[in-house]
Structures are given as structure tokens and as C-alpha cells.
Amino acid sequence: MDRIRIVGGNKLNGVIPISGAKNAALPLMIASLLTDDTLTLENVPHLADVEQLIRILGNHGVDISVNGRRERQGESYARTIHFTCRNIVDTTAPYELVSKMRASFWVIGPLLAREGKARVSLPGGCAIGTRPVDLFIEGLQALSANIEIDGGYVNATAPAGGLIGARYTFPKVSVGATHVLMMAATLANGTTVLGNAAREPEVADLANCLNAMGAKITGQGTSTITIEGVRSLSGARHRVLPDRIETGTYAMAVAMTGGDVILEDTDMALLDTALEAIRRAGAEITETNSGIRVVRNGAGIKPVDIVTDPFPGFPTDLQAQFMGLMTMAKGTSHITETIFENRFMHVQELARLGAKISLSGQTAKIEGVSRLKGAPVMATDLRASVSLVIAGLAAEGETMVSRVYHLDRGFERLEEKLTRCGAHVERVSD
């Protein structure tokens, strides 16, 4: 199994190209199930989660071709992928596939909207929390779907004439349930109004793509989304938006090590709150023609308190990385996680590097230390593992991160991007 070896202490200087967003690419790919025409997605990151979803969609009958010639984009490769689902050949998403990646549960929306039925395995819990699917079920029931849960599967059927548009207000903000209800409602009879919808940029990206396919969606990016059902959707060509979590992660890495890096092909507006927190921690952040420049020279890291929240709040997907940064702040900071109940698994691993962190309920208290010391650590989930990389970049000596398959789920060519900026990071295969 691969491991990542980091020898800390180098500042980061150079250019890091930002990839297309994993969390936008996944729902966009699933949207290809809504049409018998070709959906072409540009700027798709090359990640384990994307490859897994390609397998899942293939199972439902989506014909997928990846552009042989990879389009060059800075140092990264952004792929263009064509998805064509002439016929849905299977409306079942089996446990073996859904259990590997929670987002594959989202096929329930398009399958139900296009075929009138879907049998999708419950995703089960995962390392960061129980993550139930009650909001998906309640929302689809509001669109008149009949739902039964049996043997670990959700069996959903639409009325004979198809799903029926309705008004549904989410009792809690959910990115996935907003994606699914929005996709399902595009082909429903009549108009659907989703209240308390997720405002994440990835939701707006999906809505924009669906509109390019002929859907009639308004209000994306706000908490009320209106979807006027249409009879069918066509193909489209759409570019996946930049990965704001990858952007924030590298910005925090620079704030941690010091240095001067341009994050290319990204957009400050996607992560205002996180960038503001990094600024308060002592980095200078400015907009450039091609992206964002992050600089930290001289001044030490200042402690900053944050609370995670749905967009536009501080993203839970950057919480672990920010904690990595705060381990070396000059003072004490507090980080409160409000989205997932078990997203502090990086705490114990950061402690192995010398961090001083104590937990009280959903709040971590981080007492900054003047130095971290490299150690063997274990990745536990995608974002937790990259927080160990950030800490390892600033630690003295060698940090060896095992279970890097977590990193490969969401960070494209991580070691290459960091190495080009002067870091000592390499993949070690056993």
C-alpha cells in the first residue's frame, strides 16, 4: 500500500494549478442519467472517486469516453469526459458499489425521474458520522414518490405519470439531498420549490449544467430553488468549476510553511470565509489574473477561532486542514464542527506530531506549539489525511502518512503539485 513521505521544513514557492472540483464533478456526472443525449464535462479531475463513479454509471448503462488527448492545464491534466446514457439498463445501485462511495446514492434522483423506479442500497455510516438519508426520502416523497426500505435498500417508485412537482423545505441544509431533489424535479410534472436548499457553489454548478441541458431552474446559489419541470433534457457541454477545497487546502499549506504561491485557475469568490480566516492567521491573500496569490513571510501564525457551517460559512471540508495550521499558531484557538458529529479523527494523529489539542464535545481547543516533529501517522478520511500533510510540511524531520488511498480520493497529483513548489514530498510504494 502506498505511503507519502514528507520531509518538513521547506517553504512553498511557485505555482499550483487547481483542479476541477470533485464535489461538483460527481453530481454533474450523475446528471448524465437524466438524458439519452451526450453530456460532455470538461475539467474533470483524475481522482479515485471519479473512477469509482465511472464504474457505477457504467452499470446503469452510461457509455463513457475519456478524451484520449488530455487537455494540458498548467501542470495538471484536466480531462474531458463524454457521458451518453441512451437507455438505462439497470435501475438498481447495489450495496457493493454504493458502500464504497456515499455520493453514488444520489443516482436515486435521476433514475426515479427518468425510469419511474430506482432500487438503491442505503449507503451506511462512514468514518465522519452516521450520515442518514432521511432528507432524501422525505423530499422524494414530497414529489409523490412511493418509498419503501427493505433489506438495506431504498425502493422508490414514481406515480404512473411521473413525479409531481411540490413545495418542500429541508429541515436541515443538505448538499446531497439538494442535488438529488433538484435533479429529480427537472423531469417532474409542474413546479418544485425547494426551501432551505444548500447554497454551495457545487449546487449552483449542477443547476447551471442542468439548465444548459434544457432544465428550468432559478434561484440556485440562494436558499430557495425553483424548478419548473420539463418533458426531457438534452445533452450539453459544461466545465466543472474549480475545487474550492483544494484551493483552501493549498492556501493553508502556504500559510503553514511560509512562502509565496499562486493558486492558478481558481476563484476567490468560492471560499471567502475560509480565505478571511487564513488572512486573520497572518497570510496575505490577493487576487491575480489567473487565480489567487498567498504569501506569508516573517510574521508567525496567529490563532483564529472558527465554526464550520453550510456555505457561505467556513466549510467542514477545510476544518481539519485549518486545525493543522492552528497547531503552530502563537496562542490558543478553538475550532467547532457543526456539520458532522465525528469529524475530529485527525486530532489524535496531529498529536503524534506534537500538536496540543483537547476536545470538548464538538469543539477542539488547540494550543499552538513552536515546533512539530515528524512521525508516522495514519490517514483516516480524505480531509483529515491532508491535514497531516500540511502539518508534516512544517514539522521537523520525516512524516510518513499511511493509507494514502484516502488522499487519492480527492487530491489530484498532490505530491507533484507540492514538490514543484519546493516541498519534499514523495510517494513510497511498498
CB of 190 to ligand EPZ, least distance (A): 24
Q: Which is nearer to ligand EPZ, 4 or 407 (CB)?
A: 407
CB of 141 to ligand EPZ, least distance (A): 12
Number of shown-chain residues binding ligand EPZ (CB under 6 A): 23
Closest residue to ligand EPZ in the complex (CB)? 176
8 Å CB contact between 248 and 390 = no
Pairing of strands 259-264, 12-17: parallel
DSSP 240: P
Nine cell digits for residue 209: 449544467
Q: Using the rule CB under 6 A, which residue among 103, 120, 142, 386 binds ligand EPZ?
A: 103
Q: Which is nearer to ligand EPZ, 7 or 122 (CB)?
A: 122
Q: Using the rule CB under 6 A, which residue among 16, 382, 401, 423 binds ligand EPZ?
A: 382
Whole-angstrom distance, CA of residue 251 vs CA of residue 244:
10
Q: Using the rule CB under 6 A, which residue among 76, 174, 321, 399 binds ligand EPZ?
A: 174
Q: Using the rule CB under 6 A, which residue among 28, 47, 48, 133 binds ligand EPZ?
A: 133
The answer to the question of residue 129 lying near ligand EPZ (CB under 6 A) is yes
Catalytic residue among 85, 126, 209, 421: 126
AA identity, residue 24: A
Q: What share of the chain is helix, strand, coil (3-state, %, to 5)?
A: 35, 30, 35
The answer to the question of residue 340 lying near ligand EPZ (CB under 6 A) is yes
The answer to the question of residue 177 lying near ligand EPZ (CB under 6 A) is yes
CB of 22 to ligand EPZ, least distance (A): 6
* β partners of residue 226: 193, 218
The answer to the question of residue 316 lying near ligand EPZ (CB under 6 A) is yes
The answer to the question of residue 47 lying near ligand EPZ (CB under 6 A) is no
CB of 371 to ligand EPZ, least distance (A): 29
The answer to the question of residue 125 lying near ligand EPZ (CB under 6 A) is no
Q: Which residues, including other chains, have CB under 8 Å from residue 173's CB and lie 6 or more apart?
A: 196, 197, 198, 199, 223, 310
Residues in 154-173 that interact with ligand EPZ by CB under 6 A: 172
The answer to the question of residue 31 lying near ligand EPZ (CB under 6 A) is no
The answer to the question of residue 339 lying near ligand EPZ (CB under 6 A) is yes
CB of 171 to ligand EPZ, least distance (A): 9
The answer to the question of residue 411 lying near ligand EPZ (CB under 6 A) is no
Burial tier of 54 (Cβ tally within 10 Å: 0-12, 13-18, 19+): middle
Would you call 209 a catalytic residue per the annotation? no
Stretch touching ligand EPZ by CB under 6 A, among 131-139, 186-194, 249-257, 355-363: 131-139
Q: Using the rule CB under 6 A, which residue among 102, 114, 244, 346 binds ligand EPZ?
A: 102
Nearest CA to 85 out of 213, 277, 269, 201 is that of 213
CB of 314 to ligand EPZ, least distance (A): 11
Could you give the C-alpha distances from 364 to 265, 306, 338, 346, 347, in angstroms and in order?
Answer: 33, 10, 12, 11, 8
CB of 400 to ligand EPZ, least distance (A): 23
List, as own/partner pairs, every contact residues 246-250 make where C-beta atoms lie below 8 angstroms and the sequence separation is at least 24, other chains included.
246/18, 246/19, 246/21, 246/410, 246/411, 246/412, 247/18, 247/271, 247/292, 248/274, 248/275, 248/278, 248/315, 248/318, 248/321, 249/318, 249/321, 249/386, 249/390, 249/411, 250/16, 250/18, 250/294, 250/417
Q: Using the rule CB under 6 A, which residue among 60, 293, 383, 413 binds ligand EPZ?
A: 383
Strand spans (E) along 22-125:
38-44, 63-66, 71-73, 76-84, 92-93, 117-121
CB of 300 to ligand EPZ, least distance (A): 29
Q: Using the rule CB under 6 A, which residue among 131, 216, 334, 420 binds ligand EPZ?
A: 131
DSSP string, 296-323: E-SS-PPP--EEB-STTSB-GGGHHHHH
Q: Using the rule CB under 6 A, which residue among 109, 165, 176, 248 binds ligand EPZ?
A: 176
Nine cell digits for residue 245: 477545497
The answer to the question of residue 26 lying near ligand EPZ (CB under 6 A) is yes
The answer to the question of residue 201 lying near ligand EPZ (CB under 6 A) is no
Half-sphere exposure of 396 (CA within 13 A, CB side): 6
Buried b (16+ CB within 10 A) or exposed e, 379-392: bbbbbbbbbbbbbb
The answer to the question of residue 100 lying near ligand EPZ (CB under 6 A) is no
Give contact residues for ligand EPZ (rule: CB under 6 A): 23, 26, 102-103, 129, 131-136, 172, 174-177, 316-317, 339-340, 382-383, 410
Just list the catalytic residues.
Answer: 126
